[in-house]
């Protein structure tokens, strides 16, 4: 099914029957990706006295509790409330759910013992484009990202100047295939988060960061329509399901 939508005063056509899901589902298995030193999530039936909420155990329905952390267990979207003293809910951050997006593939560069994504590389890849959202795929890119255990791995991260560049470019929604835009152990500096949200000077409350995505190699770099949705949690972050659509 095709649809024509207006993006920044331009009419664009997309095929709604061909979504490109770039989220990682949450699973109660060892295949679930992990970060921040937590064990895998738990999905288990409720037990009330002798009653077990599982059809195969005699119940009429499956009735599970789910225990997880959005930051550690899969694709999630967060707002400035993730780093602010005051409570801000990601559930209030989005006023709309469709955005122009640019998918770019970056090769992190060495900086001492770290791997960083520098601003110069982003400038070259975006080449003057001003999308509402930027989707960053790091190279090399393999399906192993969907089950990787990131704790104590010192993953690549976005340099503070790169996050500042995206903010100054007017990017409102940043998506990346790593557990965080910042260094795993940075002493609580959170330089990329703060630079992108312009915190604490003039916080950008309507802007979001989505982490722990996976962008298949079948999705080429270029321009897309992004549909960004999340579960309705009143929290700094929520599990989310970003979906891309090609322009026709």
CATH of the domain at 156: 3.50.30.50
* Nearest alpha carbon to residue 88 among 168, 199, 196, 165: 199
Let me know if residue 219 belongs to a domain.
Answer: yes
pLDDT band at 5; cut points 50, 70, 90: confident
103 falls within a domain: yes
Res 59: pLDDT: 97
Q: How far apart are CA 107 and CA 138, in angstroms?
A: 6
Per-residue pLDDT tens digits for 116-157: 999 999 999 999 999 999 999 999 999 999 999 999 999 999
Taking the alpha carbons of 238, 12, 244, 122 in that order, is the dihedral positive or negative?
Answer: negative
Residue 50 lies in a domain: no
Give domain status of residue 143, yes or no.
Answer: yes
CB-count burial class (<10 Å; 0-12, 13-18, 19+) for 12: middle
The pLDDT tens digits for 162-219 are 999 999 999 999 999 999 999 999 999 999 999 999 999 999 999 999 999 999 999 9
Tell me if 58 is assigned to some domain. no
Q: What is the pLDDT of residue 9?
A: 72
State the residue range of the domain holding 172.
2-34+70-246
Mean pLDDT across the chain: 96
- Residue at 46 is within a domain: no
CA 53 to chain centre: 32
Q: What is the domain count for the chain?
A: 1
Question: pTM of whole model > 0.75?
Answer: yes
Q: Is residue 41 part of a domain?
A: no
Query: Comparing C-alpha atoms, which of 137, 155, 159, 123 is closest to residue 244?
Result: 137
Q: Per-residue pLDDT for 2 more than 90?
A: no
Instruction: State how far the Cα of 218 lies from the Cα of 172, in Å rounded to an integer.
Output: 25
Asked whether residue 134 is domain-assigned, the answer is yes
């Amino acid at each position: 099914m095709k649809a024509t939508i207006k993006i920044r005063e331009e009419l664009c056509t997309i095929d709604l029957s061909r979504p490109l899901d770039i989220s990682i589902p949450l699973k109660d298995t060892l295949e679930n990706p992990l970060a921040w030193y937590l064990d895998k999530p738990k999905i288990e039936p409720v037990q009330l006295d002798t009653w077990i909420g599982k059809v195969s155990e005699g119940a009429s329905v499956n009735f599970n509790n789910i225990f997880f952390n959005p930051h550690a267990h899969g694709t999630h979207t967060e707002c400035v409330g993730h780093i602010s003293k005051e409570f801000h809910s990601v559930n209030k951050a989005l006023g709309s759910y469709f955005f122009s997006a640019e998918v770019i593939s970056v090769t992190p560069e060495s900086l001492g013992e770290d791997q960083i994504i520098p601003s110069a590389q982003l400038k070259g890849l975006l080449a003057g484009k001003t999308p509402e959202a930027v989707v960053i795929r790091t190279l090399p890119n393999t399906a192993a990202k969907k089950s990787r255990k990131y704790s104590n791995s010192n993953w690549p991260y976005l340099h503070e100047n790169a996050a500042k560049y995206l903010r100054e470019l007017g990017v409102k929604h940043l998506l990346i295939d790593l557990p965080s835009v910042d260094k795993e152990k940075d002493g609580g500096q959170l330089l990329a988060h703060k630079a992108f949200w312009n915190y604490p000077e003039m916080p950008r409350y309507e802007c979001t960061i989505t982490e722990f995505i996976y962008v298949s190699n079948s999705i080429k770099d270029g321009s897309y329509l992004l549909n960004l949705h999340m579960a309705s949690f009143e929290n700094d972050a929520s599990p989310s399901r970003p979906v891309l659509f090609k322009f026709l």
